[in-house]
Amino acid sequence: MNELRLAFSLSLLVVLSLAGVRIESYAERSEMSRQQQPRTGRSYESGDPMKKPPTSAPQFPSPVTFTDMTAQCGISFKHAASATSQKYLLETMGAGVAIIDYDNDGRLDLYFTNGARLEDPMPKGAQPDKRDPRYWNRLYRQRADGKFEDATERAGVKGEGYSMGAAVGDYNNDGRADIFVAGYGANILYENNGDGTFRDATRKAGLTGGGWSTSAGWIDYNNDGLLDLFVVRYVEWDFERGGLYCGDTRPGFRAYCHPDNFKGATNLLYRQRADHTFEDVSKQAKIADPEGKGLGVAFADFDNDGWIDIAVANDSVRQSLYRNRGDSTFEDIALPAGVAYNENGKTFAGMGIDAADFNNDGYADIFITALSNETYPLFQSNGDDTFNYVTNTLGVAQITLPYSGWGTRFIDADNDGFRDIFVAQGHVLDTIEKTSAYLKYRQTPLLMRNTGKDFVNVSASAGPSFNIPVSARGAAFGDMDNDGDTDIVLGVIDGPPLFLRNNGTRNHWIGLELASTKSNRNGIGARITVTVASGRKRIYEVTSAGSYISS
C-alpha cells in the first residue's frame, strides 16, 4: 500500500521527514494458419525514433543507499508473464505490488500480482488460466524476525484471470485491510476475515465489472465516511482483436501493438452504500471517459477545497485531471490546467503517476512516467487549478530521456524535508535492442534527488541494485522495517521482485498512526499539515493510489 512520504501501512503509521527542523528469440508460430497476417498497425517501437545516444545526465552522490533484501528475507516469488510468439499486450504490462499489514501485527506484509497461462495462440473463446501455482498471486507475511513466509494458500488470495494491479483499503471499516485485485478476465475483492484468511466478496459487493482493468484506488470522493473505489481501465482488447503482433514479421523481431490500434476503455467509479455494497456511478459522476487509455491513477486535493480530485495517466492520449465539484460529480480540467499534454502540445505514453507537494508550497504537483525519448512530465501547481511543465527547467528531461518508466513515487528518501522521485524502469518491448541500438529492455531503477532547486540523478551511488538492469513495472513504498525511512518493493516482469531496504540517514522523523471514528477507519484522504521551525508548512495526504498497478 502506498504512502505519502509516509511509511503508510494499513495500520496507517505515517512517517514524516524532519531533517533540518525541530520535528520531521521467438520460434515461428506453429499453430498460426497461413491465412492469418500480423497487424499493420503501429508498434511500440515506432514511438522511439532515437538514432543516436542521448547526452547522459551527470551523476551526483546519493545521501542514502538501498540494499536488496529479497532473497535474504525469504521472498521466493517469481512473476510469470507467459510470453508467447503472438505478442499479446498483457504479457508486458503486469507485475503489481501491494504493501499491507493484513494481520494487524504492526509489520508490513507483501502481495504480488501475477500473470496466467496463455496458449500460443489462444484458442477462440479461451481465457487466461491461473490454476498452475506458478501463476498464483502471492501473499507474504512478515514475521517478527523480518523474514517473510508464503501465506497465499492459507489466506485464499491466489487470484483469478491475468492479474495486474492491487489496491489496499479497509472498505467495510472493520479494522482489517482488504485487497481489491484488478486485471484482465477478473476483478476480485478479497475481504479480510481477521483470522489470516480472506473471502471473495466480489459479487456480494457488486464489483464484477469486466474488461481490462489496470490500477485501482480507494477514495472517499463524496466525503460520506465510506471508501469508494476508482478502477482504471486500459483499452478494448481481447485475444482475437489484439492477438496478432505488430511491426516486423520476423521471429524474434515481432513487437507488441501500440494502444493506438485499440479503442480506449472507460474508467469505473463505484460509490459505496451504507450496507457495504457498491453502485457504479461512473456516468453520473461524469468520469466515464471513453477516450482514456488509463494505466495509473493518483488522488490529491489539488485545489485545497476539501474534496479529493483524481489524476489519471493515459497511454498516448491526453491525460486526465478530474476536479471534484463537491456534488458527487467531476469535471476533467486537464486541458485548461495544462496537464493534458507535454509542453509542445503532444501526447505521451502516460504509465505511472504520483501527486504530492514536491516544492513545499502547499499544493500537490503531478509526476507521470512515459516511454523513452519522451521524458517524464513533471507538472508544478500554480495553486489556481493550473500547472507549469517544469520537466526541462528542473533537470528531469535530461535524466529521463533514454528511459521508460512505470511505478513511481515522490519519496523523501533521505528524510531531508524535500520529496525526491523514484521510478521503476524497463522498456515495453523485449525486442527493442534489435531495432534501437541506444535503448534497452531491462533498465536500472532511477532515483532523482530533490535539491530544493532542481532534481539530480543519484542512482549510480544509491546501492548495487540501482546498477543492475531489470524489467520493472509495479512499485510500492512503505517503512517495511519500522525504522523511519521509506523502503521500496518492485514488481519485475518474468523475474523475482526487488525489496530495496533504505539504509537511512541521521535525519529526524516522526511517525503518526491515523485512526478515525467518523470517516473511513484508516484515514485515507486525510491531510496532515506540519509546520517546521522556519514557519513553513508541509502538506502530506494519505492515499491508497499512485505509482503503477501498486498500492
- Tell me which of 24-38, 162-176, 207-221, 479-493 is least confident: 24-38
In Å, the largest CA–CA distance within the chain is: 73
Residue 57 pLDDT more than 50? yes
pTM of the model: 0.93
Residue 298 lies in a domain: yes
* Residue, of 54 and 144, whose pLDDT is higher: 144
Residue 466 pLDDT more than 60? yes
Residue 191 pLDDT more than 70? yes
What is the structure's pLDDT at 290? 84
Per residue in 122-178, pLDDT tens?
999 999 999 999 999 999 999 999 999 999 999 999 999 999 999 999 999 999 999
What is the structure's pLDDT at 128? 98
- How distant, in Å, are the alpha carbons of 199, 221, 383, 537 from that of 327? 34, 10, 22, 29
What is the structure's pLDDT at 24? 28
Per residue in 376-391, pLDDT tens?
999 999 999 999 999 9
Neighbours of 300 (CB within 10 A): 27
What is the structure's pLDDT at 45? 56
Residue 249 lies in a domain: yes
* DSSP code, position 70: T
Residue 1 lies in a domain: no
- Give the span between the Cα atoms of 103 and 8, in whole angstroms: 15
Residue 117 pLDDT more than 80? yes
Residue 510 lies in a domain: yes
Q: If you average pLDDT over residues 281-286, what whole number do you get?
A: 98
State yes or no: cis peptide before 121, omega within 30 of 0. yes
Neighbours of 263 (CB within 10 A): 12
What is the structure's pLDDT at 46? 45
Residue 175 lies in a domain: yes
Give whichever of 33-47, 64-78, 427-441 has the largest mean pLDDT: 64-78
Residue 47 pLDDT more than 70? no
Mean pLDDT across the chain = 91
What is the structure's pLDDT at 525? 94
**Cβ atoms of residues 3 and 488 within 8 Å:** no
Residue 460 lies in a domain: yes
Gyration radius of the chain's alpha carbons: 21
Per residue in 253-280, pLDDT tens?
899 999 999 999 999 999 999 999 999 9
- How distant, in Å, are the alpha carbons of 66, 110, 181, 337, 492 from that of 489? 11, 9, 18, 32, 10
Residue 81 pLDDT more than 80? yes
Number of compact structural domains in the chain: 1
What is the structure's pLDDT at 132? 99
Residue 6 lies in a domain: no
Quick one: cell of 369?
Answer: 512516467
What is the structure's pLDDT at 42? 63
Please, where are the H alpha helices in 40-170? Answer: 152-155
Residue 7 pLDDT more than 70? no
Residue 441 pLDDT more than 70? yes
Per residue in 467-484, pLDDT tens?
999 999 999 999 999 999
What is the structure's pLDDT at 43? 64
Range of the domain at 78: 13-541
What is the structure's pLDDT at 239? 93
Quick one: cell of 330?
Answer: 467531476
Residue 18 pLDDT more than 80? no
Domain CATH for 503? 2.130.10.10
* Pairing outcome for strands 97-100 and 109-112: antiparallel
Residue 332 pLDDT more than 80? yes
Mention every residue, 6+ apart, whose C-beta is less than 8 A from residue 521.
170, 173, 174, 175, 515
The pLDDT confidence band at residue 510, using thresholds 50, 70 and 90, is confident
- How distant, in Å, are the alpha carbons of 73, 112, 282, 509 from that of 67? 12, 20, 43, 21
**For 310, how many CA atoms within 13 A lie in the half-sphere containing its CB?**
38
**Cβ atoms of residues 391 and 437 within 8 Å:** no
Residue 548 lies in a domain: no
